[in-house]
Structure 1
Amino acid sequence: MAGGSDADFREFAATHSRRLFRTACLLTSGDWHGAEDLLQETLGKLYPKWRRIGRMEWPFAYAHTTLVRTYLEQQRRKSSGERATDNVPERAARPTGDPELRLTLLDGLAELAPGDRAVLVLRYWEDRSVEQVAEMLHLSAGAVRVRSHRALDRLRAVLGDQLPGLALDRS
């Protein structure tokens, strides 16, 4: 995909939006509307710079990094203005896989701090190396390792006894 024209951007968006949306869904703990908003904001940030980005060797990597940074930026903004509520909206139906396990993991991820969630999604869902995550999040490799370890411990504590039962039921 070499080039920076509007047609190239439309082709890029059509080709890669689905992968970016999956990552956005994980980052937003399964909130499809939030994931759509995150994806649209990311694409909105890419478009004005597309003439330069479209000529890069890996424009998807740039887009993916922009998505994660946009998510973290949104979380920093929200943390100062959002208030907790007892009124929780219904969740949309989940696609394939073990829905109970998926919901449990998404609920567990939702309990983590945004930075911890981003590290876990990038490391273990996206299967990125420590160095790649460190570069994307502007952290050192050691910080990513420590944060991954601590975030996994927090996730285990949040999930408590739920996860072993789900893992046994999958036989």
Structure 2
Amino acid sequence: MSPERDEEYTTYVRSRLSWLRKIAYPLCQDWHRADDLVQTAITRLYVKWRQARTADDLDAYVRVMLIRVFLAEQRRGWFSRVQLRSAMPHEPLDSGDRDTAMDIRRALAAVPPRQRATLVLRFHCDLSVEQTAHTLGCSTGTVKSQTARGLATLRSMLGEPESRLARAEEC
């Protein structure tokens, strides 16, 4: 790569590194692993930088790479054998109810990887159903069903009362 392209790539990565980590963490629930996911994604980005820099939405392109790195890692054998977990998150919560945030984080970790990726894209990244489908490489119907199943799993893990769920679905 030319020095100009290297500089362009470096500038982009420096400006988006914390954003990428904030997407990776809810997926894997571990800051070290989130860093590994981001590192793998930006390495792949470097290899494809010539193509990526011409994308209509570079952030969306990189987000797709990150999600695909996460999903590919979930399919590998080593992940099912080894899971490193830290006792406490390394970064403090910004504000709000910390107990609720910890409960949600714990419940999100129990959601299957594909559903977790869908939930993170839909609610953490605030993507539409269509954008999420494009990112995951699936149909909008799959996104809707994965979202519904993921939310149902979260609700059951968090002990949502059935009456509250029924009222929410009526709205």
TM-score range, shorter chain: 0.7 to 0.9
Runs of 4+ in 1 over 6 A off after TM superposition: none
Deviations 1:58-115 (A, max 9, x none): 211110000001000011114774157xx96412342312322221111000001000
Maintained 8 Å contact 2:37/2:66: yes
Alignment of 1:1-171 (within 5 A): 5-29=5-29, 31-78=30-77, 81-82=80-81, 89-93=86-90, 94-98=92-96, 99-160=98-159
Q: Distance in 2 between matches of 1:154 and 1:62?
A: 29
Structure 1 pair 109/78, CA: closer, same or farther in 2 (3 Å)? farther
Maintained 8 Å contact 2:115/2:150: yes
Maintained 8 Å contact 1:8/1:54: no
Maintained 8 Å contact 2:73/2:79: no
Q: Distance in 2 between matches of 1:131 and 1:20?
A: 21
Q: Secondary structure at the match of 2:12?
A: helix
Q: Distance in 2 between matches of 1:38 and 1:89?
A: 17
Q: What TM-score do the two structures reach when normalised by structure 1?
A: 0.84
Q: Percent of aligned pairs with the same residue? A: 31
Superposition deviation, residue 127 in structure 1: 1.0
Q: Distance in 1 between matches of 2:74 and 2:159?
A: 26
Q: Secondary structure at the match of 2:138?
A: coil
Structure 1 pair 79/130, CA: closer, same or farther in 2 (3 Å)? farther
Deviations 1:96-142 (A, max 9, x none): 12322221111000001000100111111111100111111111111
Maintained 8 Å contact 1:108/1:159: yes
Compare 110-119 and 133-142 and name the one that shifted more: 133-142
The gaps in structure 2 that reach 5 residues or longer are: 165-171
Q: Distance in 1 between matches of 2:134 and 2:127?
A: 11
Structure 1 pair 131/45, CA: closer, same or farther in 2 (3 Å)? same
The gaps in structure 1 that reach 5 residues or longer are: 165-171
Q: Distance in 1 between matches of 2:35 and 2:101?
A: 19
- Specify the code of the residue in structure 1 equivalent to 2:47: P
Q: Distance in 2 between matches of 1:130 and 1:9?
A: 29
Superposition deviation, residue 48 in structure 1: 1.1
Q: Secondary structure at the match of 1:52?
A: helix
Q: Distance in 1 between matches of 2:85 and 2:64?
A: 30
